Amino acid sequence: MIFYFLYTDISQSRLDFAKHIGADHAILADTRDGLEMSKRVKSAFGDHMPEVTIECSGAESATQLAIYVSENLVIRRSHNIEEIVFESDSIA
pTM of the model: 0.70
DSSP H helices, 1-92, are 12-20, 34-44, 60-69, 88-91
Residue-level pLDDT at 92: 42
* CA atoms within 13 Å, Cβ hemisphere of 52: 9
Please give the pLDDT value at position 26. 93
Contact 68/38 with Cβ under 8 angstroms? yes
Q: Which whole-number Å values give the CA distances from 16 to 9, 31, 54, in the listed order?
A: 10, 18, 19
Q: Where are the domains of the chain?
A: 34-92
What is the β-pairing status of strands 52-55 and 82-87? unpaired
- Render each residue's pLDDT in the chain as its tens digit; 92 residues: 677 888 999 999 999 999 999 999 999 999 988 888 888 988 888 867 777 787 777 788 888 888 888 877 666 655 554 555 555 544 44
pLDDT for position 17: 95
**Angstrom distances, CA of residue 13 to CA of 9, 32, 57:** 9, 19, 17
